[in-house]
């Protein structure tokens, strides 16, 4: 790692932080970013700074045990989460943590982004699970991340935010964009009555495209999602996709926020229910 290379990485962290803040993925001093300098050192954002207004000289250098080696400021208070990623994933060169609002809404609601909805997401990220809730800046957080990090390049953090890793800083950042984009589309589809899911057969075809297009993935898609529900550290990506029986797109009413479910149950939003009650009251007057 030459001084010029380090200067480039410092500038890249500043740019990624600026993009996170500009897109509303972080607010105030939220979020943190890190990148490998070499086999034993990391370059990391400092604690208590707005990611939209950093400069290259703010960054800290630490070793893989978290000891600060250089920098005027202290490293991120969530450094241990980053260190756990690098310990578990020798291929990971960068980590981005942010609080994109729609994806974080799914994390708060306890809804993983693991349905086979978008071909691009299935091919690249596979699925986006939710790591168990952990108090930020404590040892609980790396423990929660450990369960999923070997098999996933992106995950939600329960009632907290999202985490992505990549082969470089911008790769990790773009995965954060993908997660938030996926969350927005999923949310809109559910408001409109529910997604149409890609069939299991189509998911298998998409997984085959990974090798053809040189898409690196830390793990394959699970052949049986239910079999990996309770393991301590998952080894494949859980993507929920129904059997197609010749169809490539299958309606999934369970995810809808309104409409009629597959079992004939009628589902209403709060606004729809309120309107029905108000209409009934008017009829009684």
Cα dist from 91 to 119, 149, 169, 194, whole Å: 24, 12, 13, 36
- Among the candidates 159, 191, 223, a domain finishes at 191
Q: What is the DSSP-derived secondary structure letter of residue 259?
A: E
Q: Please indicate, yes or no, if residue 168 is contained in any of the structural domains.
A: yes
Same domain, 170 and 280: no
Residues 83 and 162 in one domain: yes
The pLDDT value recorded for residue 54 is: 98
Which run of H or of E encompasses 250? strand 249-251
| Helix, strand, coil share of the chain (percent; to 5) | 40, 20, 40
131 and 46 co-located in one domain:
yes
pLDDT score of 263: 47
Residue 264: inside a domain: yes
On whether both 51 and 173 belong to a single domain, the answer is yes
pLDDT greater than 70 at residue 162: yes
- Which pLDDT value is given to residue 128? 98
For residues 150-155, average pLDDT: 98
Residues 10 and 146 in one domain: yes
230-263 CB burial, b ≥16 within 10 A, e <16: eeeebebbbbbbbebeeeeebbbbebbbbbeeee
Predicted local distance difference test score (pLDDT) of residue 266: 57
Mean pLDDT across the chain:
91
Domain identity same for 25 and 101: yes
* 85 and 185 belong to one structural domain: yes
pLDDT for position 170: 98
Q: What is the pLDDT of residue 265?
A: 53
The Cα–Cα gap between 128 and 3 comes to: 36
**Tens of pLDDT along 30-42?**
999 999 999 999 9
Cα separation, 218 vs 208, in Å, equals: 14
Confidence (pLDDT) at 260: 42
- Of the two residues 227 and 9, the one the predictor is more confident about is 9
pLDDT at 256 over 60: no
pLDDT-derived band at 283, boundaries 50, 70, 90 = low
Domain range for 266: 259-285
pLDDT at 229: 64
- For residues 89 and 243, give the distance between their C-alpha atoms in angstroms, rounded to a whole number: 33
Q: Is residue 22 part of a domain?
A: yes
pLDDT at 264 over 50: no
**Is there a single domain that holds both residue 273 and residue 156?**
no
Confidence check: pLDDT of 203 > 70: yes
Q: Which of 138, 156, 191 is the last residue of a domain?
A: 191
Q: Name the percent of the chain lying above pLDDT 90.
A: 78
Helices (DSSP H) in 110-235: which residue ranges?
A: 119-124, 140-149, 169-191, 200-212
* 268 band by pLDDT with thresholds 50, 70 and 90: low
Q: What is the pLDDT of residue 176?
A: 98
The structure's pTM equals 0.87
Looking at the domain assignment, is residue 248 inside a domain?
A: no
Answer yes or no: do 175 and 284 share one domain. Answer: no
Predicted pLDDT at 261:
45
Q: What is the rounded average pLDDT of the residues 132-145?
A: 95
Query: Is residue 187 domain-resident?
Result: yes
Give the CATH number for residue 13.
3.40.225.10
pLDDT, tens digit (0-9, with 9 covering 90-100), for 44-69: 999 999 999 999 999 999 999 999 99
Does residue 35 fall inside a structural domain? yes
How confident is the model at residue 253, as a pLDDT? Answer: 57
Q: Does 140 lie in the same domain as 37?
A: yes
Q: List beta partners, residue 188.
A: none
**Measured distance CA(73)–CA(91) in Å, rounded:** 28
Whole-number pLDDT of residue 55: 97
The crossing angle, in degrees rounded to 10, of helices 101-109 and 169-191 is 60
> Does residue 235 form part of some domain?
no
Same domain? For 172 and 278 the reply is no
Give the end of a domain, one of 137, 165, 191. Answer: 191
Percent of the chain clearing pLDDT 70 (strictly above) = 89
Q: Which residue has the higher pLDDT, 18 or 256?
A: 18
- 217 belongs to a structural domain: no
Number of domains in the chain: 2
Dist. CA 147–CA 54, nearest whole Å: 32
Do 263 and 186 lie in a common domain? Answer: no
Residue 258 scores a pLDDT above 70: no
């Amino acid at each position: 790692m030459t001084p010029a290379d380090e200067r480039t990485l410092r500038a890249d962290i500043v740019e990624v932080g600026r993009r996170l803040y500009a897109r509303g993925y972080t607010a105030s001093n939220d979020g943190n970013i890190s990148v490998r300098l070499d086999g034993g050192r990391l370059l990391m954002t400092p604690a208590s700074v707005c990611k939209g207004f950093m400069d290259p000289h703010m960054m800290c250098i630490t070793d893989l045990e978290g000891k600060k080696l250089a920098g005027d400021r202290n490293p991120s208070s969530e450094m241990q989460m980053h260190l756990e990623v690098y310990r578990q994933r020798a291929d990971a060169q960068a980590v981005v943590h942010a609080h994109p609002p729609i994806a974080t809404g799914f994390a708060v609601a306890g809804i993983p982004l693991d349905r086979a909805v978008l071909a691009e997401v299935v091919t690249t990220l596979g699925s986006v699970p939710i790591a168990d809730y952990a108090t930020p800046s404590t040892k609980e957080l790396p423990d929660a991340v450990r369960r999923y990090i070997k098999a996933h390049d992106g995950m939600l953090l329960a009632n907290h935010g999202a985490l992505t890793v990549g082969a470089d800083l911008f790769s990790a950042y773009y995965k954060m964009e993908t997660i938030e984009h996926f969350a927005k589309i999923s949310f809109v589809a559910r408001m409109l009555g529910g997604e149409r899911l890609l069939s299991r057969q189509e998911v298998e075809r998409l997984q085959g495209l990974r090798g053809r297009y040189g898409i690196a993935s830390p793990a394959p898609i699970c052949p049986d999602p239910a079999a990996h529900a309770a393991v301590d550290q998952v080894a494949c990506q859980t993507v929920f996709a129904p059997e197609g029986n010749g169809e490539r797109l299958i309606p999934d009413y369970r995810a809808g926020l309104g409409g009629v479910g597959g079992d004939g149950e009628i589902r209403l939003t709060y606004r729809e229910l309120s309107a029905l009650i108000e209409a009934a009251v008017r009829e009684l007057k």
